[in-house]
A and B are shown apart, each in its own frame.
Chain A
Amino acid sequence: MIPWDKLHGAMTHFPIALLMFSTACDFVSVAFKKLSFARGLRLVSFYGLAFAALASLGAVVSGIALTKGDMWGRGDFGWHHRFVWPAFGLLVALAVWRLVVRDAMSRTGLCLYLVLMLLASGFVAAAGYFGGELLLSGGGVP
Chain B
Amino acid sequence: MTSLEIKGAVAAVTTSVLILVATFTAGGIYRNYLERETEPGNKPLDAATLAAKGRTFFFQSCAHCHGQDADGGEDAPSLLKLQISGAHMALVIQSGIKDEMPSFAKKYNEQDTVAIVAYLKTLH
Q: Do A and B form a real pair?
A: yes
Main secondary structure of the interface of B (DSSP, over half): helix
> For A40, what are the chain B residues with a Cβ–Cβ distance below 8 Å?
none
The A113-142 residues at the B interface (CB cut-off 8 A) are 134-135, 137-142
Q: Say whether B101 faces chain A, with CB atoms less than 8 Å apart.
A: yes
Bound form: Cα–Cα A90–B15 in Å:
10
Q: A96 vs B12: C-alpha distance in the bound complex, in angstroms?
A: 5
A137 partner residues in chain B, CB cutoff 8 A? 97
Take A64-B30, A68-B30, A68-B34 as given contacts and tell me if A100 and B88 are in contact as well, using a CB distance cutoff of 8 Å. no
Q: Which of A71, A77, A88, A89 contacts B27 (CB 8 A)?
A: A71
* Complex alpha-carbon distance, A101 and B50, angstroms: 56
Query: Is B15 within 8 A of A92, CB to CB?
Result: yes
Q: Is A36 an interface residue (CB 8 A)?
A: no
Contact of B11 among A67, A97, A104 (CB under 8 A): A97
- Report A-chain residues with C-beta under 8 Å of the C-beta of B26: 64
Beyond A96-B11, A104-B2, A140-B91, is A69–B27 a contact (Cβ under 8 Å)?
Answer: yes
Which B residues are CB-close (under 8 A) to A28? none
7 A-B pairs besides A96-B15, A109-B5 with CB distance below 8 A are A64-B23, A68-B30, A75-B85, A89-B19, A96-B8, A104-B4, A138-B97
Q: Which residue of A lies closest to B8 (CB)?
A: A100
Nearest residue, chain A, Cβ from B97 = A138
List A residues at the B interface (Cβ < 8 Å): 5, 60, 64-78, 85, 88-90, 92-94, 96-101, 104-106, 108-109, 112, 134-135, 137-142
**Most A CB within 10 A of own CB, among B8, B26, B94:** B8
B108 CB, min distance to chain A CBs, angstroms: 14
Of all chain B residues, which has the CB nearest A73?
B85
B16 touches A89 (CB 8 A): yes
Is the Cβ of A139 less than 8 Å from the Cβ of B83? no
Q: Does B73 contact A (CB under 8 A)?
A: no
